[in-house]
Amino acid sequence: MAHQAHSYHMVDPSPWPIFGAAAALLTTSGLIMWFHYNSSVLLTLGLISMLLVMLQWWRDIVRESTFQGHHTPTVQKGLRYGMILFITSEAFFFLGFFWAFFHSSLAPTPELGGQWPPTGIKPLNPMEVPLLNTAILLASGITVTWAHHSITEGNRKHAIHALTLTILLGFYFTALQAMEYHEAPFSIADSVYGSTFFVATGFHGLHVIIGSSFLTVCLFRLIKFHFTSDHHFGFEAAAWYWHFVDVIWLFLYMTIYWWGS
């Protein structure tokens, strides 16, 4: 058996990167076929293969770390850098949509009636469901921190309870937002107001769903004893992502919902 003289992880050759690239090709081409030729075959194929690649790639990482022990402190440091860089790139992604919002709302054109919200748009009351959603996400930030402390203190029962509560709060947020979308008196087609509102909050909602899924996987791993009190980076990464989603919401709430109403 070969031994390495360094603390890095030389991974086994894996098919997931190239299959992932193929899945991205199928998904993007599928979007084109759906937009322009009214066919959703490719898109479906792309999304399914994307899901399969993600499940297997991340399953393999769990195997390499928890079951094979390849995640030395050096490797973990690299993963921390990676997750921070990824979240930073997501922050820039949202920055673009905030830019678009301020571009249109700071100097509303005559076509909008020279005002913001534009003439005829009845914005959602920021003191109703949006305020509740703010409270929900803030509370979920507290529960996920409680879960983290419980893990480091070796309190299995509390960790499971706190993480479950975090996930339930996430689902509650998503359900309330879905209801708001359904009940809103304006649609995405209602001038640039609708565009900026639904694209920004929509992408945020997608990230809440992604974050909730990540936390759910962590819950399963927590129950199955994968985490130790001093090595649980998967959970930390999920918690970082969740806090990021919370912060984005706070900006959305303050700018689009509150200032923009």
Partner 1 sequence: LLEDLLNFKSNLRQISQRTISTASRRQLENRVPEKQKLFQEDNGLPVYLKGGAMDGLLYRVTMGLSVFGTGYVLYELMVASMPKKQK
Interacting residues toward partner 1 by CB under 8 A: 1, 11-16, 18-19, 22-23, 25-26, 29, 33, 37, 41-42, 45-46, 48-49, 52-53, 56, 60, 63-64, 66-69, 223-226
Q: Hey, what are 194's tokens?
A: 């609708």
Of residues 199 and 223, the one with the C-beta less far from partner 1: 223
- Give 228's strand partners: 231
20 DSSP β-pair partners: none
Tell me the two tokens of residue 258.
């509150």
Would you say 13 or 73 has its CB closer to partner 1? 13
Q: Are 30 and 45 in contact (CB under 8 A)?
A: yes
Residue number with CB closer to partner 1 (59 or 103): 59
Give least dist CB 27 to partner 1, A.
Answer: 10
Nearer to partner 1, 52 or 247 (CB): 52
> Contact at 8 Å (CB) between 141 and 243?
yes
**Sign (positive or negative) of CA dihedral 255, 81, 233, 145:** negative
d(CA 153, CA 234): 17
Q: How far is the CB of 134 from partner 1 (least distance, A)?
A: 37
Task: Give the separation between CA 133 and CA 169, rounded to whole angstroms.
Answer: 9
Q: Given the complex with partner 1, which of 231 and 243 has the nearer CB atom?
A: 231
Shortest CB 15 distance to partner 1, Å:
7
Closest approach, Cβ 33 to partner 1, in A, equals 7
* Cα–Cα dist 259/253, whole Å: 8
Cβ at position 64, least distance to partner 1 in Å: 6
